[in-house]
Amino acid sequence: MITLYEGAFAKVNLTLDVLGKREDGYHDIKGVMQTISLRDDVEIDIGTGKPWELHCDKEGIPTDETNLAWKAAKLFFDATGKDPDGVEIRITKRIPAQAGLGGGSADAAAVLRALNRHYDSPFSLPALAELGGTIGSDVPFCTLCGTAMAEGRGERLKKMPDIPECIFVVCKPEFSVSTPELYARIDRKAIAKRPDHVAMEKAILSGNLNEIAGNLCNVFDPVVTEEHLELNYIKSIFNSYGAIGSQMTGSGSAVYCMTDSFEYAAVICNMLKENYPMVFIAKSV
Please confirm, yes or no, whether 158 is among the known catalytic residues.
no
CB-based contacts of 112, cutoff 8 Å, min separation 6: 72, 75, 76, 128, 131, 132, 139, 143
Q: Three-state DSSP class for 168?
A: strand
Please confirm, yes or no, whether 138 is among the known catalytic residues.
yes
Q: Three-state DSSP class for 47?
A: coil
Taking alpha carbons only, the member of 168, 258, 247 closest to residue 211 is 258
Distances (CA, A) of 91 to 96, 141, 143, 279: 13, 20, 17, 20
The one-letter amino acid code at 141 reads: F
Which listed residue (17, 40, 107, 138) is catalytic? Answer: 138
CB-based contacts of 247, cutoff 8 Å, min separation 6: 216, 217, 218, 221, 235, 255, 256
Would you please indicate which residues are annotated as catalytic (active-site) residues?
Answer: 11, 138
